[in-house]
Amino acid sequence: MKIGILSQKASLYSTRRLVEAAKQKGHEVVVMDPLHCHMNITSKKPMIHYRDKDLKDFDAIIPRIGASVTFYGCAVVRQFEMMGVYSLNESVAISRSRDKLRALQILSRKGIGLPITGFAHQPRMTEDLINMVGGAPLVVKLLQGTQGKGVVLAETRKAASSVIEAFKELDAYFLVQEFIKECSGSDIRCFVIDNKVVASMKRTAREGEFRSNIHRGGHAHSIKITSIERKTAIRAARVLGLNVAGVDILRSNKGPLVLEVNSSPGLEGIEKVTKKDVAGLIIKFIDENAKAWKTQTRGKG
């Protein structure tokens, strides 16, 4: 099988592990920066060129698209889909998960537990927005932020109002979310492949920080999740249409709450903490499921 990995850096841990796992199974692997792909969009013979080479005869692609290049990266994934190439996660599902507001609305519609979340545009709505999520402390999140960037904890109403007004002055889109005090700066990352949680870890923020991201100095350990947490993670990935996802869950007094669903979850933390060959499980899923023209969304944008 010929597999393409869409990644801006071949040296990244996740990309390297996927290449290793695919080669161990005897597959041919090509790593491509999606930003260096250009497309011929035609109804009869859609094509993709990578630099000066025609990308053809691929059986499957693994999108590892950075958040900053979501728009163009998804266009490249769509083009491969138009050519009948199987994608580990489809372009529509990636777009859904990357739009935090859209993802939360879809999850909410399906009754999946979420932190109370507010979204508004007009400055005069600030006080009502704060009340809507239960007052301070609260969390303000930029819609485009990743790895904890653009996430602010406002501990008082005055601080919350100041942060919200500042984001509005920047003309930035953001969410206001209730702060789940009982989590104490921790969350659970569930790694979902093919409607199964194959690995899970608890991440805890370093002292003086509320964001549990490992990139921000948080630490993690393997954890046994409950059956409700498992079902919640699986449902969240399925509702967004993702075959592979990192689902971040908060343990609250109201039960598990989905914080975010990541369509390109990193492998380094989860593999090192759980000692599981997650990359190998991803390649196994592709082995069992990759077929030409196989899509779930069937053109639904």
Indicate which CATH number applies to the domain containing 135.
3.30.1490.20
**Same-domain pairing of 71 and 144:** no
Q: Judge if 80 and 15 occupy the same domain.
A: yes
As a whole number of angstroms, the distance between CA 282 and CA 169 comes to 43
pLDDT, tens digit (0-9, with 9 covering 90-100), for 266-295: 999 999 999 999 999 999 999 999 998 777
Nearest to 76 by CA among 63, 59, 88: 63
Examine the domain organization and report whether 15 and 149 are in the same domain.
no
What's residue 219's pLDDT?
77
Q: How many domains does the chain have?
A: 3
Domain annotation covers residue 108: yes
Q: Name, in order, each residue with C-beta under 8 angstroms of 86's C-beta and a sequence gap of 6 or more.
A: 59, 60, 61, 286, 289, 290, 291, 292, 294
Q: What is the CATH number of the domain that holds 101?
A: 3.30.470.20
Q: What digits encode the pLDDT tens for the residues 219-229?
A: 789 999 999 99
Q: Residues 107, 124: one domain? A: no
Instruction: Identify the pLDDT of residue 296.
Output: 65
Q: Is the pLDDT of residue 25 over 60?
A: yes
**103 and 210, same domain (yes or no):** yes
Which pLDDT does position 52 carry in this prediction?
83
Residues 247 and 101 in one domain: yes
- CATH number of the domain at 32, please: 3.40.50.20
Domain that holds residue 41: 2-89
